[in-house]
Structure 1
Amino acid sequence: MPLSASTLVLRAKQLEIEAVRLMASRVELADLIGQLIHALQRERGASSIFLASGGQRLAQERQTAMGEAVHIASRLDERFASQLEAGQTGQTGTASMVSLMAWVQLDLATLPALRHSIDQCQTTAHDAVAAFSRLIAALLELIFHLADVAMYPGIARPLVAFVYLVQGKEAAGQERAVGAQMFASGTCAGTAQQRVQQLVEAQQRSFQMFERFADPTLLAAWRQRQASAAVAVQDGMRRTLLTTPPGAALVHDDSEKWFEVCSEVITGMWTLEMQVVQDLRKACEAQIQRSQADLQDSAGLLRQLLDNPPPHTHAVERFFDVAEQPAAAPVLPGMPDAANGPADVHATTVTSLERLLRQQSARLAQTEVELDAARRALKERKVIERAKNALMARMGLSEDAAFRALQKASMDNNRRLADIAEATLSLTGLALPPQDDDRHQD
């Protein structure tokens, strides 16, 4: 039996609602991943001090963070299972997203062994930080893929803001761990000092993008937190880390103070992260309600069309009715006919259709620019990251040096950074000579 037009129109609107509900489901998954990242960040920082101090500092803090991370990881495992079950209805996501879920599960499976080696102080603070950071990087990549499917500006913009806030917060978490390791060891290591500087710059880049997509309320809250006393104290201690000559002594006891003040700053970011999630939930629900209202309007319009066929249909029916004597051949609504002259056509149905089309066109025109900006930001991030990785692999640059090389090329050629990144990826050989002090050092 062939499908009717009304069935197709209604089904299209229902699919739109299902797509928004799917987006809402992915927001919940991103929230849960964000919670796990937050717990792992705290465990990483405490583990760094624990190991650098020979197991003497932050043992209880580490155990608390570890317990929270284990609990959230269990919830995430259940969520992954439900996402795969939903795959029967097409809700799992892309193949790359499922592969990232598998990668995350593999990394989570290594945590018990890592934690045991930390318990026994059988690994270094640096290696522990690197292991935690590798897992968190996979979780961040999964959040990025979840964000790459937003369809509406009310969802897309806060979701992009969420991605960059979480990314900047992770750089802040890495800075907390590296700085804690430096203070707890009592010595300023030049390589660690360089990493701190690079992490500060990474935060600046991420937070610039966050500010671009944050709504005014969120942006005001962010700037207020940036003016807090904790940020000022962190800046002072950060200057100590960055200006102390390599090999010079640092104050052991400052490790816990550094951890506490960084944790306060990161907790502020976490509060904003939860606020963005709440905004995303509201945006998804609002979009669902709008779509449901559209569905009801569409259903009413279709009933009106079925119950009140266009005037021309009536005219044709009367023309071919054997019980009637037609006065003239039927004509389209609004055209004069031979019997009655100019027609005063009641065009309620046509007007309703036109009004609906105008509303849809206006809404599309209003949202297209915002959607394009969100999509472009996500796409450019991918291109820039790939270009950085290409420079690092081909020329032995550190991540920060690779980014600076792209920035310099952008300024020298007066071209957008994303355009330079695309050009870099298209080159078979690179004309950017690495400088000795920019090479990655371990």
Structure 2
Amino acid sequence: MSLSVSSLVLRAKQLELEGIRHLAGRIELVDVIGQLIHALQRERGATSIFLASSGQRFASERQATVESVTPIEARLRELFEAQLAPEAGASARMLSLMAWVVLDLDALAGLRAQTVGHTVTAHVAVTAYSRLIAGLVELIFHVADATLHPGISRLLVAFVHLVQGKEAAGQERAVGAQLFASGRCSEAEQQRVIHLIDAQERSLHVFEEFTDPTLRGRWLQMQLTPNMAQLERLRRSVCTARAGAKLDAALSESWFEVTSARIGEMEDMLVALVHALRHDCDAQIRATEQDLQDSEGLLQRLRQNPPRHSHAVDRFFNDAEQSEAPVLSSLPDGLKDAPGTGAGSALVELLQDQSARLSRMESELDTARRALHERKVIERAKGALMSRLGLSEEEAFRALQKASMDHNKRLLDVAEATLALPDFAFASQVRASTEH
């Protein structure tokens, strides 16, 4: 095909359509990842109670959760394998994240055997499950970050932050269940529960900002249920207990049921978000297909009636700019007062419409990208502090929060500064913050 304006415009629209179809396939991947996270969260919670109670509680429940994971894991492995095909368009980063997930999935059998044999502690088991789930969450963030359609990107930002909030809720369920089942309050685990509650609130705030109004309304209503009130009461009993104080071990099952109900509500919201994502993708595919057909018809007419295009300059430049430009040729008298007429005008309008739409999309995408960028920088800063100073995740985040408040700066600004500082510059401040 010889180079022409029409061939370039049509190819641009074809690429736009291919991109949306490609995204529709990625939504299926995100859906299955979300399902596996949900199943693994249940297995993690049941395992924590089973181990903390020395096998006296949740033996059958734990086995049921293991069986529920198997078919979802198999489906995800199939989708991962499909991403190896060149036409799938998977990036090197995406395949690398998948490799880490598969590595942790392969290690599950050994962890389960250790659980049955009681050769692993509840804390170690919860950490192993959490590492696997963190890899799955990171993969969802990568898919969202690579999305190039504003409406769909906003919903994906809502989705990934709800997934992140739900994972914090899942860890809260596991740690709290472990605390109750052990019958004794551990200060370290108590602080972890407090940190996880705070982490949920941060993620859910972003979810509320980016989700659509209908789902936001449903979510806010869920916060007023009796189950949520009972969860708050149980949280208070954990968070206000003195270190070493006795806890009612029988409440481990109540805790598990109440926190599971909340996580189930989050899962319902994720299902609704996936439905909305698929609906928006399908609608966008239909609209783009129609747009492509309309463009093909217009360009076919243009090819049959070549345009006089020299007058198009006044559609792109103002009068002052035109007066300074050299005159290349003059327009026929009949066109001087009608720059918007004729086949040339139709082509210009097509180009302008496409440019304006792409410009609007880029502006809307910037908002979604900023939310994802902020999360990435904060996570990297936490990781840097954990690596440099040997802090736990909670200690690293508290250090960032304290620096943010002390210097009256945004958390993002503090995180960026942390990544830029040499090891010693932040050390004294962090040590001070973690002592309180």
Q: TM-score, normalised by structure 2?
A: 0.90
Q: d(CA) in 2 for partners of 1:406 and 1:194?
A: 16
| Superposed displacement of residue 65, structure 1 | 1.3
Change (3 A) 1:344 1:218: closer
Change (3 A) 1:55 1:312: closer
Q: d(CA) in 1 for partners of 2:403 and 2:333?
A: 65
2:378 is matched with which residue?
384
Q: d(CA) in 2 for partners of 1:81 and 1:147?
A: 20
| Superposed displacement of residue 3, structure 1 | 4.2
C-alpha offsets along residues 123-180 of structure 1, whole Å, 9 cap, x if unaligned?
Answer: 2111111111111111111111111111111111000011100001000000000111
**Pairing 1:226-305 to 2, within 5 Å after superposition:** 226-305=223-302
User: Any conservation in 2 of the 1:171–1:203 contact (CA below 8 Å)?
Assistant: yes
Counterpart AA for 1:72: I
Change (3 A) 1:346 1:147: closer
Q: d(CA) in 2 for partners of 1:112 and 1:38?
A: 18
C-alpha offsets along residues 64-121 of structure 1, whole Å, 9 cap, x if unaligned?
Answer: 2111111100111111111112xx22x2422111011111111101111111111222
C-alpha offsets along residues 340-377 of structure 1, whole Å, 9 cap, x if unaligned?
Answer: xx888992313323432443344344433321110111
Counterpart AA for 2:135: A
Helix, strand or coil at the partner of 1:122: coil
Worse-superposed segment, 260-269 or 401-410: 401-410
| Superposed displacement of residue 408, structure 1 | 3.3
Structure showing greater Rg: 1
Counterpart AA for 1:335: D
Query: Of 414, 421, 424, which aligns to 2:415?
Result: 421
User: Any conservation in 2 of the 1:398–1:439 contact (CA below 8 Å)?
Assistant: no
* 1:434 is aligned to 2:430: yes
User: Any conservation in 2 of the 1:37–1:136 contact (CA below 8 Å)?
Assistant: yes
1:190 is matched with which residue?
187
| Superposed displacement of residue 60, structure 1 | 1.9
Q: TM-score, normalised by structure 1?
A: 0.88
Change (3 A) 1:55 1:79: same
1:371 is matched with which residue?
365
* 1:335 is aligned to 2:333: yes
Counterpart AA for 1:220: G
| Superposed displacement of residue 278, structure 1 | 0.9
Worse-superposed segment, 58-67 or 269-278: 58-67
1:349 is matched with which residue?
343
2:113 is matched with which residue?
116
RMSD: 2.4
* 1:146 is aligned to 2:143: yes
2:157 is matched with which residue?
160
Q: d(CA) in 2 for partners of 1:182 and 1:308?
A: 78
Q: d(CA) in 2 for partners of 1:27 and 1:106?
A: 23
User: Any conservation in 2 of the 1:396–1:439 contact (CA below 8 Å)?
Assistant: no
Q: d(CA) in 2 for partners of 1:134 and 1:357?
A: 48
User: Any conservation in 2 of the 1:336–1:343 contact (CA below 8 Å)?
Assistant: yes
User: Any conservation in 1 of the 2:182–2:249 contact (CA below 8 Å)?
Assistant: yes
Q: d(CA) in 1 for partners of 2:364 and 2:9?
A: 26
Q: Which runs of 5+ in 1 are unaligned?
A: 314-330
Change (3 A) 1:362 1:312: closer
Helix, strand or coil at the partner of 2:266: helix
Q: d(CA) in 1 for partners of 2:2 and 2:207?
A: 49
Q: d(CA) in 2 for partners of 1:344 and 1:4?
A: 25
Counterpart AA for 1:272: M
| Superposed displacement of residue 417, structure 1 | 2.2
User: Any conservation in 1 of the 2:33–2:140 contact (CA below 8 Å)?
Assistant: yes
Change (3 A) 1:193 1:336: closer
Counterpart AA for 2:425: L
User: Any conservation in 1 of the 2:84–2:90 contact (CA below 8 Å)?
Assistant: no
Identity level (%): 55
* 1:84 is aligned to 2:80: no
* 1:70 is aligned to 2:65: no
Instruction: Return structure 1 stretches of 4+ with deviation > 4 angstroms.
Output: 331-334, 342-346
Change (3 A) 1:311 1:209: closer
Q: d(CA) in 1 for partners of 2:337 and 2:219?
A: 63
Q: d(CA) in 1 for partners of 2:17 and 2:44?
A: 40
| Superposed displacement of residue 389, structure 1 | 1.5
Q: d(CA) in 2 for partners of 1:110 and 1:67?
A: 16
User: Any conservation in 2 of the 1:187–1:248 contact (CA below 8 Å)?
Assistant: yes
Q: d(CA) in 2 for partners of 1:167 and 1:312?
A: 53
Counterpart AA for 2:362: E
Worse-superposed segment, 342-351 or 282-291: 342-351
Query: Of 124, 127, 132, which aligns to 1:127?
Result: 124
Q: How many residues align?
A: 417
Worse-superposed segment, 283-292 or 405-414: 405-414
